[in-house]
Structure 1
Amino acid sequence: MCSRFPLIQWALPWRLSLVVVALLALVAWRPALAQSAAPVRIGVLAYLGNEAAVEEWSPVVTQLSKALPGRSVELRLLAHEGLVAAAKGRDIDFVITNPGHYVELESRVGASRILTLQTGDAPGSADQAIGTAVVTRSDDQRIQRLADLRSQRVAIVGEEGFAGFQVAWRELAAEGIEPTRDLDLRTVGLPMDRVLTAVSSGQADAGFVRACMIEAKPEWRARFRVVAPRHETGFACASSTRLYPNWPIATLRHTDPELARAVTIALLEMRREDSPIVWTVPADYQAVHDLQRELQIGSYAGLRTPTMTAIVRRYWPWIVGLFALIGLGGLYTFHVERQVDARTADLRAAARERQALEAHLQQSREQAEHLARLSVLGELSGTLAHELNQPLAAIGNYAQSLIRRADNQRLTPETVREAAGEMAGQAERAAGVLGRIRSFAKKRVAQRTHVSPDAVVRDAVALFRGMQAGAPPVDVVDELPPGTTVSMDGLQIQQVLLNLLKNGWDATRELPPERQRLSVRLSLVSGQLRIEVRDLGDPLADAQQSQLFEPFFTTKPDGMGLGLAICRTIAEAHGGRLDAAPAANPPGLVFSITLPHDVRAPLSRPAPLADSSGR
């Protein structure tokens, strides 16, 4: 090793004293290091693939195994980011990588070079050792200069490659070419011979590889040529770019200083006559810093004005996480919306079913009301025939009288006019009875309008008395202001009144004539319309009174027990009530219909009117 000191002193005299002191200091520590069983872990950038890397760096393993007996040496063959992750995870103790990657590791993981690879014996060979060869096929003469690469397909290992991209990038930038914009870059990844495969197969017009790679194999030298070669003094290979320092071996923040000293001494003892790899004192990597500063990459990426692409590249894990959260939020929102839509659909279906059920119930209610009216008509059909027989008999008598007078030659115009008038009057009377019955029996949909309660009551009384032979007197007492109207379905309220009048007549039919009289009173109570129907019948038992409005309960031998239940339903459908209570001045029972307070009445209040003309 002493024979190499003059070369070292000539190249870097200020570092010589440090190396010598380190050599002398580490001799005493070797026994202690040899006794440790922890392996020496070296991370290597495998730019030519794992097999080529093992073959290239096996002399280092052999040398360290001899110099550090009792300790194993492990090579960890990794790519760029793999080396960074291993350094952060303390999975390696040393790093052997290209100069650009090393400068980046200085700022990212605290790497510190201890030696630099020396490829030749000439002074400064370690400082001028790395370049990039822009290669194309030997039979392709289209690309002669770097400027000819514009718009061409160019194969690269990746934008993080030093000799595989960044060194060429600096030269292209000097030509005014922005690779990511002006070239059709084709990233093929490691190992670097994939670049040659892409160029050879025609997938790319040119490629960036490390200088001296073409000269390594005769078949590559024959198949490819270097574009715009530069022949540097002391550098045996063709390079398309300027040269940079060789690969360093560097320690990390967690590397044991004693182990670092021992490894440094062991690697400096490697001689060219015994090994293809020779190490020298650390080279000056200022040229690499200049390159990264110009291109604003690596540890100088912060100088570049942020672009969307740069931001995505730098913060892509966070961006991916953000979009993942947004995606999960969107999926959750979609799931919730699906659930809401499903629930809404269920609610709508339930609402439709409810509406259908309500419509069916309404139809059933109307059907029941119609049947109740028909039932009342059926019960009154006997007396109805009697009422119709009177006008029909009168019409028949007048017709026979006209015939006899005509046969006796005593028919005069005055007689004909008198008979015709009487016949017309009787026919009108019969038509009125039938019209009221037809209107009452007709099946219809409930319709509310503002009508006069007095008119509804009087029509109901007239219908009741017109259909009943020997009907009792009905007194109508109207205590409402003139012109009072209420929103109601007049026919339905008429149906209620007719049922109540008929029930009152049925309850007093067998009583003395003075107790067969019925009365109807109309009044305003607390702003609501009240219609009271009273009879003078015998009182009901308490049990019967409590069941009076229950369906199918009746005190009549031939009754169905639906009349009063339907009447209460009609009153409640109008927002009112139907109640029954014993009369305040016995005997008798009072049915009260109470309707809501939307009563329209004038401010003046005349005296009540008593009327029994409905008889």
Structure 2
Amino acid sequence: MKRGVFASRRVLGVLLLCAAAARAEVRLGALAVLEGEDTRRQWQPLADGLQRALGVPVRLQALAPAALEQAVARGALDFVVTNPGHYVALEARHGATRIATRSAGAQGDPAHAVGSAVVVRADAPGPPATLAALRGWRVAAVAEEAFGGYQLAAVEWLRQGVDAEAGGLRRVFTGYPMQRVAQAVLSGEADAGVLRTCLLELWERDGVVPAGALRVVPADDDGGTGAPPGCRASTPLYPGWAFAALAGTPPELSRQVLLALLAQPGESGALDGVWTVPADYQRVHDALRLLQVEPYAFLRETRLQALLHRYWGVAAALLALALVGVAYLLRVEVLVKRRTAELTHSLHERERLARQNAQHQEALGHLSRLSILGELSAMLAHELNHPLATIANYAAGLRRRAARGDLAPQDLERALRDIAHESERAARVIGGVRALARKRVPDRVAIDPRALVGEALTLLGGWQPQAVRVACAPGAEALRVRGDAPQLLQVLLNLLQNARDVHRAAGCEGEPIGVEIAPEDGCLALAVRDHGPPLSPEALALLFTPFHTTKPDGLGLGLSISRGIAEAHGGALHARPVPPHEGGGMRMVLLLPLAQPEAADGDTPA
């Protein structure tokens, strides 16, 4: 029995050899995606192996996508080697039939061999952790129809909520060969690029791309399979390249080529692989259907006439419903006009009450500022006393030296300069107090929070230098907020005064009050931290209630007005207890929205 089987195989082989010998040559087309002769060098070992197995010349043609399509259309090829997406289009348009699928290595799975690697420069700031993080970036790819060089990455972007075609990415199509994509990323013409899996590793090995210059954005989910050994991928892997027979190729020749392919040893290099039986390309169809590209481009078309013919009953019902709706709308319009007068009166009344409430809030804020000025009066006297005493000392010294006749011109110049400096210092103190006390229309400008803190500490200059400790988080020095400087200064002064009162009441005046500047959830957090005793839940719940105070001479309006100012700026004011292991106390956090870059460019210090 076995002898008969072997004899039958020998007869079949002889018949296939005879059929191949009747042909002058076998014409093999390969999709060219690499530069120059790289594609020919990649596939020439395959053509040589087939030529040895078939005993007839195998003419390899490395063709760009458009040229390969034309050659297939005019019957100038017997077989093609192409990527899965291009094969599906050839199958639909020209009746191509895959006879083998390329796998990644001798132990590879042909159903998981092709993918995309999205690369960015290794020195790019803030390297993206996922493909979705590339939203809005300039992304280079060879062409919209490139399967591994664009479409697989586009599918993953769609699944992660980024529609590249609808503007989710700024696409830059470089055209073939694929080396142009890497060059665009390295030169800065694009922020990221889409390559076929394993090409980056091959180019790094051959010196086409400097090793380590590009990094691959990792995949969220590799579909349960990994990339080929030594390769990195950004997408799940799909079936490998297809070896397809065209419509005019004799079946006997196709079978002979299939036997020769299955007997081929695996090639060497980063793109090594072997040929095996055709894999299931359903996942390829699913990806192209999701993108609505060939052969599923028809899904983009809108066929209004066909839809009307198919759903004429529904259309008639909708028309009748529309007529009923028009009649209903006419009746509703009459009712709306009747209600409009009533609502207009209510809105006017509401606006009047809102204006009245705003006026009351402004008056309360003015009273709060005057209360703060009262508490600052002693410190103000101290701050003014120092420059005035200095000016008086300089004036007395100049009189004495002038009387003795030993007043040199340079000494006079230096003394006058110091007198002018002390005068400006006194004027700044008085100007800050006047700005705080003045009742005026708020003016929103870009504010440097550090300058705001510095102005508050200047007004509180009577405090000991170690009474306040300012900490600015890394990167926060460049942040700006947009608001009314005197109002925000009022809030900060109120928080600092409250913290000092807490320290005095708790007997911990030696502990410094902390002022912290840091970003928080897209806002700027300006926190004042004290070391007083913890507040009870009841006291914490009433902390921002108007006229609620724990001070014998307090009005109970400071924190309420401060919260109102913060909310008017689009921010918030929170009271956060400090855990005991961090020293205890209370942290009052003023959250303010960050200014837009165009506003921050012309920032005005507080």
Q: What TM-score, normalized to structure 2?
A: 0.45
Q: Looking at CA atoms only, which structure, 1 or 2, has the larger radius of gyration?
A: 1
Q: What TM-score, normalized to structure 1?
A: 0.44
